Structure 1
């Protein structure tokens, strides 16, 4: 029986976990855990696989509760939300992003779009790196150019002086 899924694509990991018999998406890109019905869980996992995500199945006995120290609670770590609180936070964040001109947090996180943009940035960085290397090689002094026949300009001058 599955207890969780770990989803991975490039540098992003998140888990989908069963809590009190219900499935939740604990993606850190979302404001709060997202409740998933069993049907939606299946469809969501299929769509992630289609976008190239690796999905790892987790089985085993998870602890029912994790005790939280008072210092952890005051820092906001380990905060337990009711399903209603999580839904309210998610709706609030989605409506805030729509008023700022965004399309909502859920729609802005489409794996294929996010990683296509990241690949374009990496390509730009590669071009910048190539240009920087080329510039540093030009600054390192005069290059010795090879002449046809495999000899350098310096060797040609020496042999020309010997022949004269």
Structure 2
């Protein structure tokens, strides 16, 4: 087989660029789970939330989802998460499942309360807001739009 040396050099160059890109992507992306204290929250539905998903406070990642399971008594989804040790949350903190845009994934949004008492490790967040999908929102809009105007019934 008589190969052109230019093809071999170009193939090696493409492999080198791919390797450099892979190293760059793995070093700049923060793909590891946040190590901290565990918390739990129960939801009636979690949407597209997955293990490894982000836990955010004021838009900043402060934790990650470490597990999901179904409570056999209440049939609710229990989400386990890990929050940075440096972030102490009040006991009346709310957890909501939010979407990162139309094509983005889901994440847990923490909304701190005003209590002076702080959550202990392995605590359950008592106040949660369930995931509301785009289909649910469209259904509500259609329902409201089809109601008679001024029907104070």
Do these two structures clear the TM 0.5 threshold for a shared fold by scoring above it?
A: no
TM-score for the superposition, normalised by structure 2: 0.27
Q: Rg larger in 1 or in 2?
A: 1
Would you tell me which structure has more helix in proportion to its own residues?
1
TM-score for the superposition, normalised by structure 1: 0.25
Instruction: Choose between structure 1 and 2 for higher RCO, CA contacts under 8 A separated by at least 6 residues.
Output: 2
